[in-house]
Amino acid sequence: MATQVAGNETGLLAAFLAYRGALFNTVVPIVGCRHWAEDVVQDAYLKISEAQLAGEIRQPVSYLFRMVRNLAIDRSRRLALEGRYSADEDAATQVISSEPSPEQIAVDRDTLQHLADALEELPERTRIAFEMYRFGDCTQQQIAKALGISPTLVHFLIRDALNHCREKLAQNA
């Protein structure tokens, strides 16, 4: 490290120029990147070149090392905070929408059409029993009473309708 300072440069600025490499090497492990370390050292230079110091600093080298260390810690904290927020923004763009995609809407409409066609193919009493059970929230007892048939027959009608719909969807898949 240079201990001699050239020309009429004195004090803090002279110490900075003499120890710039050591300051840089001190900052690299703190910020974890040579480019960020260079920025921190540059920030330190700007601070001391623009500063109107009230008095002479007794230990300019110690002061400089403390300054770049503090600037490096501040930079690391700021980068970590920015990383958290930018990660949240990036994650937000990757969230799967609860809305179905246009392709899914088309598939669902096609499936519904196939189901409607399958229901139309059923005998009327089977279709009515199935629709009352699945869409009307009726119990098998209520359906049996409404159609004038036994609850056991209602059970078989609903089972037959379900099997028919499954077969038709499998054929169209």
Confidence of residue 89 (pLDDT cuts 50, 70, 90): low
In the predicted model, is pLDDT for residue 7 greater than 70?
A: no
In the predicted model, is pLDDT for residue 90 greater than 70?
A: no
Confidence of residue 157 (pLDDT cuts 50, 70, 90): very high
| Those residues with Cβ within 8 angstroms of residue 40's Cβ, 6 or more apart along the chain or in another chain | 27, 31, 68, 71, 72, 75
| 6 within some domain | no
Confidence of residue 121 (pLDDT cuts 50, 70, 90): very high
Q: Are 70 and 41 in contact (CB under 8 A)?
A: no
Mean pLDDT of the chain: 83
Q: Do 110 and 69 reside in the same domain of the chain?
A: no
Domain boundaries, position 73: 11-93
Q: Which of 64, 93, 122 is the last residue of a domain?
A: 93
Count how many domains the chain has: 2
| 3 within some domain | no
Q: Do 78 and 127 reside in the same domain of the chain?
A: no
Q: Are 71 and 43 in contact (CB under 8 A)?
A: yes
Q: Do 64 and 106 reside in the same domain of the chain?
A: no
| 4 within some domain | no
Q: Do 21 and 77 reside in the same domain of the chain?
A: yes
Q: Which of 93, 128, 144 is the last residue of a domain?
A: 93
Structure confidence by residue, pLDDT tens digits, 140-151: 999 999 999 999
